[in-house]
């Protein structure tokens, strides 16, 4: 561990920062370090592979994206999402 409460997980080298974050969260879910719904902070260096470039921080909620969309107006909107499961 680098710091109290921080757990490093090494992944494959990826150039795209979006894929890097996706791989980090997927890897952490796979190892059981986090669970779906956990708040996750990802730090990295961009560009990838250059030493001393820890200059990116992203905060995500781990898990599967259930819904996304594009608005037609220039304002933000929110709404409720209901999941109907057949048990």
Find out whether 21 and 42 touch, Cβ atoms under 8 Å. Answer: yes
pTM of the predicted model, to two decimals?
A: 0.61
Does 87 score more than 80 pLDDT? no
State the pLDDT at residue 2.
58
State the pLDDT at residue 1.
46
Q: What is the band of 83 on the pLDDT scale with cuts at 50, 70, 90? A: confident
Supply angle C-alpha 17, 19, 71, rounded to 5. Answer: 90
- 62-73: average pLDDT: 79
Q: Where are the domains of the chain?
A: 1-65
The CATH number assigned to the domain with range 1-65 reads 3.40.1380.20
3-state secondary structure of 40: strand
**Per-residue pLDDT reduced to its tens digit, 22-61:** 888 888 898 898 998 898 888 887 777 677 778 888 898 8
State the pLDDT at residue 8.
74
Residue 72 tokens read as 């037609």
């Amino acid at each position: 561990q680098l710091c109290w409460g921080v757990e490093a997980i090494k992944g494959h080298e990826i150039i795209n920062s979006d894929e890097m974050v996706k791989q980090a969260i997927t890897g952490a879910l796979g190892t059981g370090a986090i669970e779906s719904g956990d708040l996750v902070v990802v730090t990295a260096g961009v560009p990838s592979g250059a030493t001393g470039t820890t200059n990116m921080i992203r905060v995500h909620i781990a898990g599967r994206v259930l819904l996304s969309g594009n608005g037609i107006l220039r304002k933000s909107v929110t709404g409720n999402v209901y999941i109907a499961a057949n048990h």
